Chains A and B, each alone.
Chain A
Amino acid sequence: MSTQVPESVEEESTTETASAGKQKRDAKKRERAERVQEQREAEAAEKARSADDTFHLKVFRYDPEVPEKQEPRFDDFHVPYKQGMTVLDALMWARDHYDSSLTFRHSCRQAICGSDALFVNGSQRLGCKTQLSDLSEPIRVEPLPHADVVKDLVVDMEHFYDQMESVEPYFQTNSLPDGELDEQRQTRENREKVKMSTRCIWCSACMSSCNIAAGDNEYLGPAAINKAYRFAMDEREGEDMKQRRLEILEQEHGVWRCQTQFSCTEVCPKDIPLTEHIQELKREAIKNNLKFW
């Protein structure tokens, strides 16, 4: 069960020069650590056996820095079920009781930080928002597809963040209100229009599910386009800014790469109608360029 590798490989070279007494102590320490680990695992397994209901998780493991984990594989964890347990809870239980080297991102545990998007039973979901009871066993937990795995369930998000930054995901305007203390008011209708698009939590589930983004690294991706939608549709930004935003979006690797597979809309944990927003921006881009008057 454990993937913790005895640290013998590295230590052998360093202990050559160390005294015999230190060697002995180290060996003893290692032995003790192993015993503690074994005991912990045995306890965990016992707990899992005695529980009324356990869930079987198959978790993707990979670590390029550890020779024994360089070949990707799946580890099995049997986790005792508590009512309301989510995939993230189960992973945390497995980490705390079986293998402390199990690595995954998580923070708020209430679907707002966007750090625990995982590939669970073949679809991108937030670990903290997915109930174990909704899934069929064994539950396969993998890192997000179409992204480099750093370790276990952690993927490299750098590319996703780059795409998000490239659409200038912040409010900018050059039509300020007259008075110095005037507020920049938004109409209720306009707020309603951008409401769903503001809910993005940057979890990258949509980007990972998108077939086009997988094959074309320059494609902005659903999340970035949705972010651009949020500001392009905001009336307070003014016509100049909208023009600028549409210029970014209507490039070759912008909105036109979307082929309406609806994968992003399907997996979005915040239920943002991503495809709808992309389609609307496509229409805006056409309206922007086709002018017969």
Chain B
Amino acid sequence: MSQSYNRGLIEDFSRWREFSAGMWAWIFHKFTGWVLVGYLFTHIAVLSTALSGAAAYTNTIQALESLLVVRILEVGLLAVAVFHILNGLRLLFVDLGVGLEAQDKSFYASLILTGVIVVASVPTFLSGVSI
């Protein structure tokens, strides 16, 4: 319906400011899902380049881990994965019909919990890296 008809001002992109919790949860879930799919393929591709022996594998990993940008990306990956897991649990409860009236609160809870876990992980991920 909306595609076939130009409504001018009415369906512009600024509408995201009016989204509610459930919609944000859906968008973040989709986004993190695609990021995880992308990571999975990159992960397999990169490790496949280092299959010639134990030394090659260690070299590749050490080279990657010495880069600051890789460490920062790892923090990002953790954030994405943790949110996807927590929101996945939330969706599981939604599918079971448990606590649907608290669905917005559980979304905020999963956001906050993700934040806490990510912040707590930063020292571990960034230890021993030279800039």
**Would you call A260 and B97 a contact (CB within 8 A)?**
no
Q: Are A149 and B7 in contact (CB under 8 A)?
A: yes
Surface stretch bound by B, among A11-19, A168-176, A275-283: A275-283
> Interface of chain B, helix or strand or loop or mixed?
helix
Which residues of B have CB within 8 Å of A261?
22-23, 25-26
Cα distance, A226 to B62, chains bound together (Å): 57
Q: How many residues of A contact B (CB 8 A)?
A: 34
* Residues from chain B with Cβ under 8 Å of A259 in the complex: 26
Contacts A122-B18, A276-B97; A214 near B7 (Cβ below 8 A): no
**Residues from chain A with Cβ under 8 Å of B118 in the complex:** none
- Mask, A22-34, CB within 8 Å of B = 1, is 0000000000000
Count of residues in B whose CB is under 8 Å from the partner chain: 26
Contact indicator B95/A279 (Cβ below 8 Å):
yes
Within the complex, what minimum Cβ distance (angstroms) separates A225 from chain B? 15
Q: Check if B2 is an interface residue, CB within 8 A of chain A.
A: yes
Complex contact B100–A72 (CB within 8 A):
no
Complex: A79 Cα to B95 Cα, angstroms: 46
Name B residues whose Cβ lies closer than 8 Å to a Cβ of A: 1-2, 5, 7-11, 15, 17-18, 20-23, 25-26, 91, 94-97, 100-101, 103-104
Residues of A within 8 A of B (CB): 60, 62, 71-74, 119, 122-123, 142-143, 145-149, 159, 211, 214, 217, 259-263, 265-266, 273, 275-276, 279-280, 282-283
